[in-house]
Structure 1
Amino acid sequence: MKKQSITEIKALLNEDNLTPEKWEALLQDERKGVQTLLKSYHRKKEREKRLIQRFEEMRHYENKAYQNGFEWIAGVDEVGRGPLAGPVVAAAVILPKDFRLIGLDDSKKLKEEVREEYSTYIKEHAICYHISFIENQIIDGINIYEATKQAMYEALAGLTTPPDHVLVDALHLPNLNCSQEAIIKGDASSISIAAASVLAKVARDQFMKELDKKYPGYGFDKNMGYGTKAHLKGLEEYGATPYHRTSFAPVKTLGK
């Protein structure tokens, strides 16, 4: 019987469309190209297995909350505490119990194109979500810690389905009218917080890219307002924009 071409075998592996008989035939195929494809396929399946296991581990806090009788579990997270410019952004999201997005993780660990793809998927499949922006003037007025909490409160208040339990990344929110659990590194430990992290990160990045069009001398489209060399050089050459945090060094020392 004529052997299948490397291209045909690659298509079958990509489709996961192999009968036991065809699989056995591939294992016996001594062509170097076929064996290379099989090794690549095995690595891919092992990676998928690890991602599935990690996703199930990240459901721990949600599963515990469901077992305790909670129904509407919200994850909340923020991005943008450290930049010299732009808002701090928080997102809150309630995911359905059967939500599944293999590969979901802390937004900082995901590539930009993956974050954007995941953000769209989360918005399409979430029970509800809300994103809150706290501007730099408010950050300067009340400090970044209080502004972060305000962003989280506003994100949770904007949910169309009120949560009965909240999973928070690291912070405790004393004024919630429901139970909560603060989780250290929650964006890497809870699918709800990770989803909120992705929503907040993508929303803030989009804001900063638009800001770069208005103020192109600071590299906002790449540094997202953090104090990179390009950003600091822009501050030296052009001074602060209306979007810079004047309470943050070195912005507050400009002109002194």
Structure 2
Amino acid sequence: MWTVGVDEAGRGPVIGPLVVGAVALPTADLGMLLQQGVKDSKDLTHKKRNELVNWFHEQSKQRGWKFTLIECGPERVDNGVQTTGLNLLEVELFAEALTQIRQQVDQPVHVLNDACDVNEQRFTDRIAARLPQWPWNDSTIHSEHKADTTFPIVGMASILAKVERDNRIQQLTEEIGIPLGSGYPSDPNTKAALPNLLQEAEPHPALRWSWKTVRRAWNEKYGVDPPTRRYEDGSQQTLFDYQRRL
């Protein structure tokens, strides 16, 4: 039996991707996460998160642990918000991550998700409905609020997702040449950067155009709503794609 933890990082920011991480370990190895001090990424320092990611990758090589990261760029986030809503977009991303894990682990699994829906069971059912050939042999799936705090394996997924997103934001910061902060609307550096990302005919591609923060700033600057963003279904661009277009 294996245990799988799934969580996301970057649901609320106005800049950059939403990243979903999934981690799979033999259930017998779960105690190693607790011993190493794995917990919710928000409760750890930047340094500690990076140390744990390095430790996890080393253990993955030695013990065959599995993981996957799904990056959902701002275009897809905007499309999700404007069509099905953010919760259903996360359902799709969690299901994509679990489908990739299934390709790596052909054994019964117990899946633990950090629920983003107020209704935990609904979140579970929606993910399960999108998993190919579910139910998998002797496998179970469960979603819970604050699972990243309760279950270290979900905490590890949150750490991998958080570090991946932070790395993408750092790359974009270096490319644009101004401090972007964390990308959250309340971050002073993000607030200061926003006007510089609204100088062209369209908002910068790394922004989430559907966010009220962007729509309000664009309207204040130009007196109209920002243009409608085009999205090609199936394209999942990363910040590397945006950098090539700068």
Q: Same fold (TM over 0.5)?
A: yes
Select 2:205's aligned residue among 217, 221, 242. 242
Q: Check the 8 A contact 2:17/2:72 in 1, yes or no.
A: yes
Q: Matched residues in 2 for 1:192 and 1:237: separation?
A: 39
Q: Matched residues in 2 for 1:120 and 1:207: separation?
A: 17
Secondary structure at the aligned position of 1:76 is classed as strand
Measured after TM superposition, the shift of residue 236 of structure 1 is: 2.2
Q: Matched residues in 2 for 1:250 and 1:185: separation?
A: 27
Amino acid across the alignment from 1:153: A
Secondary structure at the aligned position of 2:29 is classed as coil
Measured after TM superposition, the shift of residue 147 of structure 1 is: 2.7
Q: Matched residues in 2 for 1:157 and 1:225: separation?
A: 29
After TM superposition, the structure 1 = structure 2 runs for residues 94-113 of structure 1, keeping only pairs within 5 Å, are 94-96=24-26, 97-99=28-30, 100-101=32-33, 102=35, 103-113=37-47
Counterpart residue number, 1:164: 109
Q: Deviations over 1:144-181 (max 9, x none)?
A: 32332222122212221156321000242242324211
Tell me: higher relative CO, structure 1 or 2? Use CA pairs within 8 A at least 6 residues apart.
Answer: 2
TM-score of the superposition, structure 1-length normalised?
0.67
Select 1:115's aligned residue among 25, 36, 49. 49
Select 1:131's aligned residue among 55, 60, 69. 69
Amino acid across the alignment from 1:136: P
Q: Matched residues in 2 for 1:121 and 1:138: separation?
A: 32
TM-score of the superposition, structure 2-length normalised?
0.69
Amino acid across the alignment from 1:236: P
Q: Matched residues in 2 for 1:216 and 1:146: separation?
A: 34
Q: Deviations over 1:207-238 (max 9, x none)?
A: 11001111233x23xx3211122222222244
Structure 1, unmatched stretches of 5+, are 1-70
Q: Matched residues in 2 for 1:232 and 1:161: separation?
A: 43
Amino acid across the alignment from 1:141: N
Secondary structure at the aligned position of 1:250 is classed as helix
Identity of aligned residues (%): 30
Counterpart residue number, 2:163: 202
Measured after TM superposition, the shift of residue 124 of structure 1 is: 2.6
Measured after TM superposition, the shift of residue 95 of structure 1 is: 1.8
Q: Matched residues in 2 for 1:151 and 1:123: separation?
A: 22
Structure 2, unmatched stretches of 5+, are 117-122, 225-246
Counterpart residue number, 1:26: none
Q: Matched residues in 1 for 2:89 and 2:177: separation?
A: 26
Secondary structure at the aligned position of 2:52 is classed as helix
After TM superposition, the structure 1 = structure 2 runs for residues 28-67 of structure 1, keeping only pairs within 5 Å, are none
Secondary structure at the aligned position of 2:208 is classed as coil
Q: Check the 8 A contact 2:95/2:128 in 1, yes or no.
A: no
- 1:84 and 2:22 are equivalent in the alignment: no
Instruction: Pick the structure with greater CA Rg.
Output: 1
Counterpart residue number, 1:12: none
Runs of 4+ in 1 over 6 A off after TM superposition: none
Q: Deviations over 1:193-220 (max 9, x none)?
A: 0110111011111111001111233x23
Measured after TM superposition, the shift of residue 79 of structure 1 is: 0.6
Q: 1:237 to 1:98 in 2, by over 3 A?
A: closer
